[in-house]
Structure 1
Amino acid sequence: MILSRYERMIAKRYLLPGKGEGFIFLVASISLVAVMLGVAALVIVMSVMNGFRAELFEKSVGLNGHAVVQGYGGRLPDWREVLAQARATPGVTSATPLIEQPLMSTYEGRVEGVLARGMRVEDIRGNPVIAGNVLSGRLAELTPGSGNVALGARLAEALGARVGSEISLISPQGPATPFGTVPRVVSYRVAAIFEVGIWDYDSLFVVMPIEDAQTLLFLGDAVQMVELDTVDPDRVGEILQPLASRVEGRAAITDWRQMNSTLFDALQVERVAMFTILSIIVLVAVFNILSSLIMLVRAKTRDIAILRTMGATRGGLVKIFMTVGVTIGVLGIAAGLVLGQIFLFFRQSVVNAVQAVTGQNLWDPSIRFLTELPARTDPVEVIGIAGMALLMSVLATLYPAFKAANTDPVQVLRYE
């Protein structure tokens, strides 16, 4: 929309408060602030929801892979064959033998439920989710037969254990006696403590060499599952279809969507719901722009009539009032994008400040899954939010702009 020199001058004049037009300027300012808050809220919420999904996906997949081949009855005796078949499957980038078993742990009278996880030593040290988040101790001390384990940080806190502590793991699969099965109790030394950032993992995981897990659970040379990574997690079912037919009857393949379906489906539903609800804020702001322009047109009826008698075209008047409304919208959108990015940059400080003022724990990791408020801004979504707000602003200017253009100068100036 190209404006002539006089149209730009008049549009600029109408954007600034004139004598007796303070109320119109106040309404226009409120409209700008409302657009800013609506756009900022959308950017913040969508970025936080994206951050939740990305963090949960990266850390869950980093520990559990894109899929697992799980043996029936909790045993996979021919895991080496399955491992070779998986690695030969096109699209599979890695295959890792794994043991996971719920057990009990005790330390100095404290008892906690744990998830014992047996991995090969090279896989433990090469896993970025574990190796990249060690808080104390050394993963290098986890060697077969050493009796050393690594604990999640929240589990260590719950037990009161630290590096060097001796914890006991209790397995119900103990030796058989004339009086029944006796639970097996084995002591292990804490060699390292790690913090993944997902509460469920940090409060449950006990990581040990796979050979020690086999000994503890009387598995012999068997494992429980083989963890798989693929080139594209969104196509994991298609990629693993050939492998599923090969292991049919011996094992079942479960991908990350099935393992975390409830959580990710809930996030998706909440994401759509929050976007829809917060879009109403922008819609309300747009109605404010509409009302301020209607009042401006009413206040400038005499000016419009004079402009028409001086040769101003209907199209020129439409452009003038559309420019006024769109300018308010654009300024609000720009301010909202800046405010949203500032809030996201200081998001954790804001949460901490609100918690300090209210005395309430707003971010309980046991409920929120993650230890810190995540955020990941998607540029495409930001452009979409800005485009939606701009489109609404443009539509809001149409009625008052055409109302101004249809002003009859004869009727207005008859008694002047």
Structure 2
Amino acid sequence: MILSRYERMIARRYLLPGKGEGFIFLVAGISLVAVMLGVAALIIVMSVMNGFRAELFDKIVGLNGHAVVQGYGGRLPDWKAVLREAKATPGVTSATPLIEQPLLGSFQGRVEAVLVRGMTVNDIRNNATLKAKVVAGNLGALTPNGGKVAIGSRLAENLGIQLGDSLTIINPAGRSTPFGTVPRQVSYQVAAIFEVGIYDYDKAFVVMPVEDAQTLLLLGDVVSMIEVETVNADQVSAILEPLAGKVAGRAIVTDWRQMNASLFEALAVERVAMFVVLSIIVLVAVFNILSSLIMLVRAKTRDIAILRTMGASRAGLVKIFMTVGVTIGSLGMAAGMVLGFTFLFFRQSVVNAIQFLTGQNLWDPSIRFLTELPAKPDPVEIAIICLMALVFSFLATLYPAFKAANTDPVQVLRYE
């Protein structure tokens, strides 16, 4: 929309407060602030929701792989053959044997539910999620049949256990005696403590070499599952379809979507719902722009009539009032982007400050899954939010602009 010199001058004057027009300027200012808050709220919420999904995906998939080939009854006797078939499947980048079993952990009279996870030594030492999150000790100390384990930081806190202490793992499925089954108890030295950032993992995981897990659970040369990673996590079902057919009847292939279906579906639904609800804030702001422009048109009726008698075209008046409304929306959108990105940059400090002032724990990891507030701005989503604000602002200018353009100068100036 190209404006002539006089149209730009008039639009500029209408954007600034004139004598007796303080209330109109106040309404326009409120409209600008409302657009700013709406755009900022949308950017912040959508970025945080994207951050949630990305963090959960990275950490869950980082520990569990893109899919698992799980034996019936939690046992995979011919795991070596399945492992060869998995590695030979096109699109599979890695496959490793795995054991997972919920048991009990004890230290100095304290008992906690734990999830024993047996992994190959190579996988333990090279797993990016574990290796980057070690807060004490060294994963390199874990060796086959070495009697050493790595545990989550929350589990260490709950049990009061420190590096070098002995953690007793209790396996209820122990040895049978004439007096019943005696639970099997094995002590392991804590060689490393990690903090993945997902509360459920940090409060339960006990990682050990797969050979130690087999001995603890009396499995022999058996594993629970084969963990598989592929070249594309989003195409994992199609990639592993041939493997699923080969192991049918012996095992079942479960991908990351199926393992965490309820969690990711809930995030997707909440993301859409939050976008729709928060878009209403922008819509309310647009109605403020509409009302301020209507008041401006009524206040400037005499000026509009004079402009028409001086030769101003209807199209020129439409452009002037559209420019005023779109400028308010654009300034609000730009301010909202600045406010949104500023909040995202200092998000954890803001949460900590509010917690300090209110004395309330706003970010309980046991509820939120993650230990810190995540954020991942999506340029495409931000562009859509900004475009939506501009389109709404433009639509709000149509009625006042055409109302001004249809002003009859004869009727207005008849008694002047």
- Normalising by structure 2, report the TM-score: 0.99
CA distance in 1, matches of 2:121, 2:264: 31
Cα deviation 1:208-231 (Å, max 9, x = unaligned) = 000000000011111100001111
1:318 is aligned to: 318
AA aligned opposite 2:238? E
2:100 is aligned to: 100
Cα deviation 1:371-398 (Å, max 9, x = unaligned) = 0000000000000000001000000000
Cα deviation 1:113-160 (Å, max 9, x = unaligned) = 000000010100000100111000111110011100000000000000
Task: Quote the offset at 1:405 in angstroms.
Answer: 0.1
RMSD: 0.5
AA aligned opposite 1:105? G
2:347 is aligned to: 347
CA distance in 2, matches of 1:390, 1:372: 33
Task: Quote the offset at 1:96 in angstroms.
Answer: 1.0
1:135 is aligned to: 135
Task: Quote the offset at 1:236 in angstroms.
Answer: 1.2
CA distance in 2, matches of 1:93, 1:396: 54
CA distance in 2, matches of 1:90, 1:404: 67
CA distance in 2, matches of 1:143, 1:163: 16
CA distance in 2, matches of 1:144, 1:256: 28
2:268 is aligned to: 268
1:372 is aligned to: 372
CA distance in 2, matches of 1:366, 1:265: 20
Task: Quote the offset at 1:20 in angstroms.
Answer: 0.2
2:54 is equivalent to residue 54 of structure 1: yes
Q: How does 1:55-204 map to 2 (within 5 A)?
A: 55-204=55-204
Task: Quote the offset at 1:177 in angstroms.
Answer: 1.1
The percentage of aligned residue pairs carrying the same residue is: 76
CA distance in 1, matches of 2:73, 2:17: 78
Q: How does 1:17-36 map to 2 (within 5 A)?
A: 17-36=17-36
CA distance in 1, matches of 2:330, 2:100: 55
2:399 is equivalent to residue 399 of structure 1: yes
Aligned length: 416
- Partner-residue secondary structure (3-state), 1:51: helix
Q: Structure 2: any 5+ residue segments left out of the alignment?
A: none
Cα deviation 1:269-311 (Å, max 9, x = unaligned) = 1101100000000000000000000000000000000000000
Task: Quote the offset at 1:161 in angstroms.
Answer: 0.4
AA aligned opposite 2:240? L
1:4 is aligned to: 4
AA aligned opposite 1:86? A
CA distance in 2, matches of 1:178, 1:252: 38
AA aligned opposite 2:335? A
Q: How does 1:216-295 map to 2 (within 5 A)?
A: 216-295=216-295
Task: Quote the offset at 1:327 in angstroms.
Answer: 0.2
Task: Quote the offset at 1:180 in angstroms.
Answer: 2.0
Task: Quote the offset at 1:181 in angstroms.
Answer: 1.6
CA distance in 2, matches of 1:145, 1:54: 36
Task: Quote the offset at 1:250 in angstroms.
Answer: 0.5
CA distance in 2, matches of 1:42, 1:93: 38
2:206 is aligned to: 206
- Partner-residue secondary structure (3-state), 2:390: helix
CA distance in 1, matches of 2:46, 2:305: 46
- Normalising by structure 1, report the TM-score: 0.99
Task: Quote the offset at 1:74 in angstroms.
Answer: 1.3
AA aligned opposite 1:367? I
- Partner-residue secondary structure (3-state), 1:114: strand
2:44 is aligned to: 44
CA distance in 2, matches of 1:236, 1:173: 35
Cα deviation 1:65-121 (Å, max 9, x = unaligned) = 111000112111111111111111111111111000000000011100000000010
Cα deviation 1:308-357 (Å, max 9, x = unaligned) = 00000000000000000000000000000010000000000000000011
Task: Quote the offset at 1:51 in angstroms.
Answer: 0.2
- Partner-residue secondary structure (3-state), 2:407: coil
- Partner-residue secondary structure (3-state), 2:173: coil
CA distance in 2, matches of 1:258, 1:179: 42
Task: Quote the offset at 1:233 in angstroms.
Answer: 1.4
Cα deviation 1:2-52 (Å, max 9, x = unaligned) = 000000000000000000000000000000000000000000000000000
Runs of 4+ in 1 over 6 A off after TM superposition: none
CA distance in 1, matches of 2:261, 2:254: 11
AA aligned opposite 1:145? N
CA distance in 2, matches of 1:330, 1:183: 69
Q: Structure 1: any 5+ residue segments left out of the alignment?
A: none
